[in-house]
Amino acid sequence: MRVMVVGISGAGKSTFAARLAEAAGLRVVELDLLNWGPGWYNRSAEEPEALINAIDAATQGDNWVVAGGYSQVWPIVWPRMKHLVWLDLPRMQVMRQVIPRSLARAASGTDVFPGCREDFFRLFRAEHPIRWAWNRHHSRRESIARALAEPAYAHLEVHRCHSRKDADAALARLST
């Protein structure tokens, strides 16, 4: 089984991937963990080739689920996978998820990724997940739909989830 979970920041990609991995015995490839280095070092901006090579290596073989929406790796990962879970949740539902998560992370002061600590000042940055989810919700939906229209990806079994109920149903289908 080779699965990728995509969606906007805060849609629940990592949670879905972890649940599927546990239920189906898959290993999780968390793109954010491969991308973010200490001090919020962004490999996708600073070392895109190194990030692509790391993801290429992590998605060799079978029995994995990738969590993350880095579109620059789609040409590498999508031809290898069989299933795409698209958490295409309404903007307000995403905001109900991403805002409390971000505030809790800022209040706790714990690392989000090794050496990457959330704080209240980061909430005001344009690339923060809250602002990213709000500002990019529509364009992310369009970019995923455009990619799925490509003939190269016609082999994918797409599980488009518009609600938590849809996501639970997709999880049940993929877990068997």
pLDDT at 124: 86
Torsion of CA 92, 13, 122, 110, to 10 degrees: 120
Reported as a single tens digit per residue, the pLDDT across 59-109 is: 999 999 999 989 999 999 999 999 999 999 999 999 999 999 999 999 998
- Residue recorded with tokens 């939906």: 141
| Nearest Cα residue to 11 out of 99, 88, 102 | 88
Could you tell me the domains of the chain? Answer: 2-175 (3.40.50.300)
For β-strands 116-117 and 64-67, DSSP reports them as unpaired
Report the predicted TM-score, pTM, of the whole model to 2 decimal places: 0.94
Residue 105 exposure: Cα atoms within 13 Å on the Cβ side:
20
User: Under a CB-based contact definition with an 8 Å cutoff, are residues 128 and 136 in contact?
Assistant: no
Reported as a single tens digit per residue, the pLDDT across 107-152 is: 998 899 999 999 888 888 888 999 999 999 999 999 999 999 999 9
